[in-house]
Amino acid sequence: MGSARSNGEDSINYNNNSREVEIAVMEIVHKVEVPPPKSTINKLKLRFKETFFPDDPFRKFKGQTLSSKCILAAQFLFPILSWAPNYSLSLFKSDLISGLTIASLAIPQGISYAKLANLPPIIGLYSSFVPPLVYAVLGSSKDLAVGPVSIASLIMGSMLRQAVNPNTDPYLFLHLAFTSTLFAGIFQASLGIFRLGFIIDFLSKATLIGFMAGAAIIVSLQQLKSLLGIVHFTKQMGLVPVLTSVFHNTNEWSWQTIVMGMSFLGMLLMARHVSMKRPNLFWISAGAPLASVILSTLLVFLFKAQNHGISVIGHLEHGLNPPSWDKLILNTSYLSMVMKTGLISGIISLTEGVAVGRTFASLKDYKVDGNKEMMAIGLMNIVGSCSSCYVTTGAFSRSAVNHNAGCKTAMSNVVMAVTVMVTLLFLMPLFVYTPNVVLGAIIVTAVIGLIDLPATYHIWKMDKMDFLVLLSAFLGVIFISVQDGLAIAIGISIFRVLLQITRPKIVSLGNIPGSDIYRNLQQYRDARRVPGFLILAIEAPINFANTTYLHERIGRWIEDEMDKGGKIASMILDLSSVSAIDTSGISFLMDLKKMLEKRDLQLVFVNPVGEVMEKIQRANDIHHFLGLESLYLTTGEAVMSLTSSVK
């Protein structure tokens, strides 16, 4: 911010006629103003609006007729209405191609992810049919490909398994999964409706990178069961118990399975590598999983490999999603566990969905409304829980393929859903001989993309504290548990923010020669101390959590100056960066003034901003702790005015 000299004032420091000096000083000193008064109600209204409606979703409605308001409202609730009327054949061609492409990914991934969540494979296909249709009507992203995702599947599977064994009690487990999905949906939709979407912002990028990488490793470790053909595998998720289990059961390793697994894994990773090097060859990695499924199924069928130690999916139901609202378990002792599972898997899948939607929206330069997306994803899961689906969201890998394949609207999700429907109705018997080892290879290939080494390196270079958050999320996930790792990382992130407030920065300012600029002495080597002054700037809101610290720290600062033999007559406190203050903060300013008066030091404040100025004014009306000469608009003016008054 700025400080000033108007034209004729350069003479001040050189003019010995003190009378003239004083007049000149009076002329240039600007007043600190109090913002125009506003009623408490108006202030609360404004704050409410900034907190919950920062995007001002109703601005389009202003000044419209009733009928166009109705149309806008309908379009607001059902984004499909804003694009469907202008939908054309050429758009459909693009959507058809991209829809078929993501369907070829969605079918094998759906089956695999359902297994990851300890659910029957067909649930993964059900979940790739209904939710995409719901999203096509409600969602505002053009690129999001909806369906089950690896991390949410892992979380739901592992949390429910702590209460129920999916092998001995498959129906109870399944019903609890539907119920958790219902709660996930309710929770997601409520966040959107109550405009609390900012809650997911507390998952920082560093937290997510660490968490995702940890989860990817946990998921991959789980696949060692099918990749090695182990029968007796641990029920735990951690790195240590899984590796122990793997190396205690080497006698169960099946070489046929290992050979098949490694070949297909190699093929899939190669396909992924090619597509990453050449984005226009995206269809290679997009088609590879389905090709692997078909090829491996044929191999098993031809060589009767299921009799040679290779485990296969086996018989699957066929037909569309049966209703499941009668299977929701709401009145038992499982309720709190199910709600917790819904909450955590809901918030994680929501974070993924919203982040993916925003990423592609900014690539194509359109806007995605976070709160509306939350409602869409939430409703999609509520509907899903009543039609035999488990938790779904926008998947990063499939959305990327969708985008690369040239999708234009959410119609690509409809195409995908129809393809899955055809599969469900007619093609299910073909999966009987699909080997589990290939599903494992597909999962490993998918989750390996979640480990983002370049971003990790970038965070390490940029900010060591962020790296610590990332590392703790990662280590927490692989050594403790998925939920605890997440909780630890969020805890550290919030603690770090609170610490910034508890220990705000105080910097000492100096004058940059030949100017009226005052800057941090530590940062600007040119800056020079002004003799006789201690100029400090506080760089944080002043509130209950830091007043004690500020008091002690500033006291020590003055003592340090005294020890160095510096003679100080005045202290200037630059409040430019103090964006807010509470009653404890005001008491602190008054106490500081008193403390300095006892030491014969003058204290002046510089540039208190709106809210802070208002409260200082109000406190001064009651306590009269500030003289007329205690507030300046700029540090330069304060120094000039105090220097001349000392003379």
Q: Contacts with its own copies in 350-379 (CB under 8 A)?
A: 362, 365, 370
CB neighbours (10 Å) of residue 32? 18
Query: Which is closer to its own copies, CB of 226 or CB of 547?
Result: 547
Nearest distance from C-beta of residue 377 to its own copies, angstroms: 16
Query: Which is closer to its own copies, CB of 7 or CB of 251?
Result: 7
Q: Which of 385, 399, 635, 643 binds its own copies (CB under 8 A)?
A: 635
Nearest distance from C-beta of residue 643 to its own copies, angstroms: 15
Q: Which of 140, 393, 397, 493 binds its own copies (CB under 8 A)?
A: 493
Query: Which is closer to its own copies, CB of 89 or CB of 622?
Result: 622
Nearest distance from C-beta of residue 595 to its own copies, angstroms: 8
- Binding status of residue 631 toward its own copies by CB under 8 A: no
Give DSSP secondary structure letters for 336-405: HHHHHHHHHHHHHHHHHHHHHHHHHHHHHT----HHHHHHHHHHHHHHHHTTT----EE-HHHHHHHHHT
Contact window for its own copies (CB under 8 A) among 246-254, 278-286, 338-346, 539-547: 539-547
- Binding status of residue 478 toward its own copies by CB under 8 A: no
Sign of torsion, CA 448 454 457 463? negative
Q: Which of 313, 377, 459, 534 binds its own copies (CB under 8 A)?
A: 459
Distance of alpha carbon 55 from the chain centroid: 18
Within 236-334, where are the H helices?
239-248, 255-277, 282-303
C-alpha distances out from residue 239 to 220, 245, 266, 269, 377, Å:
10, 10, 23, 23, 32
Query: Which is closer to its own copies, CB of 34 or CB of 568?
Result: 34
Residue 544 to residue 588: CA distance in whole angstroms:
9
Structure token digits, residue 92: 């459909």
Residue 84 to residue 146: CA distance in whole angstroms:
19
**Is 218:236 a contact under the CB 8 Å cutoff?**
no
Nearest distance from C-beta of residue 647 to its own copies, angstroms: 21
- Binding status of residue 618 toward its own copies by CB under 8 A: yes
- Binding status of residue 56 toward its own copies by CB under 8 A: yes
Residues 6+ apart with CB under 8 A from 1: 576, 607, 634
Query: Which is closer to its own copies, CB of 323 or CB of 513?
Result: 513
Structure token digits, residue 25: 């000083």
Nearest distance from C-beta of residue 200 to its own copies, angstroms: 9
- Binding status of residue 529 toward its own copies by CB under 8 A: no
Q: Which positions from 500 through 519 interact with its own copies, judged by CB under 8 A? A: 500-505, 507, 509, 512, 514-519
Residue 224 to residue 246: CA distance in whole angstroms:
8
Per-residue 3-state assignment (H helix, E strand, C coil) for 115-184: HHCCCCHHHHHHCCCHHHHHHHHHCCCCCCCEECCHHHHHHHHHHHHCCCCCCCCHHHHHHHHHHHHHHH
Q: Which of 545, 572, 589, 604 binds its own copies (CB under 8 A)?
A: 545
Describe the strand order of the beta sheet including 570-574 as a list of residue ranges.
Answer: 518-520, 506-511, 533-538, 570-574, 602-606, 631-632
Q: Which positions from 548 through 607 interact with its own copies, judged by CB under 8 A? A: 548-549, 552-553, 556, 574, 576-577, 579-580, 582-584, 586-587, 591, 595, 598, 607
Contact window for its own copies (CB under 8 A) among 77-85, 128-136, 179-187, 489-497: 489-497
Q: Which positions from 172 through 211 interact with its own copies, judged by CB under 8 A? A: 198, 201-207
Query: Which is closer to its own copies, CB of 95 or CB of 637?
Result: 637
Q: Which of 251, 307, 453, 525 binds its own copies (CB under 8 A)?
A: 525
**Is 467:489 a contact under the CB 8 Å cutoff?**
no
Query: Which is closer to its own copies, CB of 520 or CB of 644?
Result: 520
- Binding status of residue 520 toward its own copies by CB under 8 A: yes
- Binding status of residue 303 toward its own copies by CB under 8 A: no
**Is 620:626 a contact under the CB 8 Å cutoff?**
yes
**Is 353:144 a contact under the CB 8 Å cutoff?**
yes
Contact window for its own copies (CB under 8 A) among 165-173, 179-187, 281-289, 521-529: 521-529
**Is 316:122 a contact under the CB 8 Å cutoff?**
yes
Contact window for its own copies (CB under 8 A) among 26-34, 373-381, 427-435, 477-485: 26-34
Structure token digits, residue 330: 């709401």
Q: Which of 12, 22, 55, 71 binds its own copies (CB under 8 A)?
A: 55
Nearest distance from C-beta of residue 264 to its own copies, angstroms: 37
